[in-house]
């Protein structure tokens, strides 16, 4: 198990704010791609939240694949609200079938996978 820890936040915000060409440029250090995946700004890795599966945005659930049910837009918005609450801290735990980074992540000590599960915006991931 890879236990590399990484932090994103204030430093990345300062670096990107200094590099911004437009005064209207809005950038977040981390953005929800969907309800279980985070894009880290500044060229960082995409992170998939461990243990959960969230509804796929339209066009993202391939034919023949069983995808999580629910509202993908509400799920994405819920994850973004959690991300906006503070500093993201992640611990790599594995790679998935597609070699994506899987991590246990928290904001202000609140585990994001657990928060998404308890709010009903994701379900436990079960290998298919």
CA-to-CA dists, residue 48 to 18, 33, 105, 116, angstroms: 28, 10, 9, 13
Q: How confident is the model at residue 128 (pLDDT cuts 50, 70, 90)?
A: low
Mean pLDDT over 42-65 rounds to: 77
For residue 112, the model assigns a pLDDT of 98
Q: Write the CATH number for 85.
A: 2.40.50.90
Domain that holds residue 111: 5-124
- Mean per-residue pLDDT, 94-98: 86
Q: Report the number of distinct structural domains present in the chain.
A: 1
Most confident residue range from 10-14, 75-79, 99-103: 75-79
pTM attached to this predicted model: 0.71
Cα→Cα distances 97→13, 30, 38, 87, Å: 32, 23, 17, 28
pLDDT in tens, 60-92: 566 666 666 668 899 999 999 999 999 999 999
């Amino acid at each position: 198990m890879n236990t590399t820890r990484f932090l994103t936040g204030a430093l990345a915000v300062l670096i990107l704010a200094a590099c911004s060409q437009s005064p209207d440029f809005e950038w977040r250090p981390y953005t929800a791609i969907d309800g279980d995946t985070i894009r880290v700004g500044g060229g960082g890795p995409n992170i998939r939240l461990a243990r959960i599966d969230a509804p796929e945005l339209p066009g993202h659930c391939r034919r023949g694949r069983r995808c999580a049910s629910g509202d993908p837009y509400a799920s994405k918005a819920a994850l973004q609200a959690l991300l906006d609450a503070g500093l993201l801290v992640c611990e790599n735990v594995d790679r998935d079938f597609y070699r994506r980074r899987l991590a246990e992540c928290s904001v202000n000590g609140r585990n994001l996978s657990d928060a998404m599960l308890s709010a009903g915006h994701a379900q436990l991931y079960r290998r298919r």
